[in-house]
Amino acid sequence: MRSKSEFKATRERVGITQAALASMMGVSQRSVRYWEHPLSQRQPPEEAWRLLDDALDRQRQVVSFALQKVEEVEETAGTKPNAVRLPYWLTEGDYVQWSTDSELGIIGDWRMANANNQALAIKLEERGIEVEWVDGNPARPTE
C-alpha cells in the first residue's frame, strides 16, 4: 500500500490542488484532506491514485517531448543552447488566453503547466542549460 505522503507529494508534484482533485473525483475537498491527513483512517481510493498516476505519466511525456525539441535544436545549431525560456503562469486567465497547450492537445490547467515546466527546468539544469523564467502573459508590462 502506498502512503498518504506519497499521495500528497504526487498530487503537488503534478500541480493538482485538493479542490481540483475533489472536482475530478466528484467528492468534497474535505474528502481529499482526509485522504492526506496522517491521523485519518481514510485512504485515497484507487481511482484517485489512477488520476495522479496518469497525470504523472503525462508530465513525464511532456518533459520528454520538450527535451527532444531541445536536442533537435542542439543538432541543428551544432551546440546546446545556453538557456531556455520557460513561461510561468501567474493566473488561470493568463494561461487560458496565452497558452498554446490546448492547440497542442495538452490537457490540464495552469498549475499543472507550471508543475510540468518546473520538472522540465530540473532536467534542463541537469544538462547544464540555464532556465530563464518568463511571465506567461507577454502583454503584461515588465518591471
Q: 26-48 pLDDT, tens per residue?
A: 999 999 999 999 999 999 999 99
Q: What is the pLDDT of residues 73-89, one digit of tens each?
A: 999 999 989 999 999 99
Question: Which CATH homologous superfamily contains domain 4-135?
Answer: Putative cytoplasmic protein (1.10.3100.10)
Decide: residue 41, CB within 10 A, 0-12 exposed, 13-18 middle, 19+ buried: exposed
What predicted TM-score, i.e. pTM, was given to this entire model?
A: 0.89
In the predicted model, residues of the chain with pLDDT beneath 50 are: none
Query: What is the pairing mode between strands 83-88 and 130-135?
Result: parallel
> Which of 63, 5, 70 minimizes the C-alpha distance to 35?
5
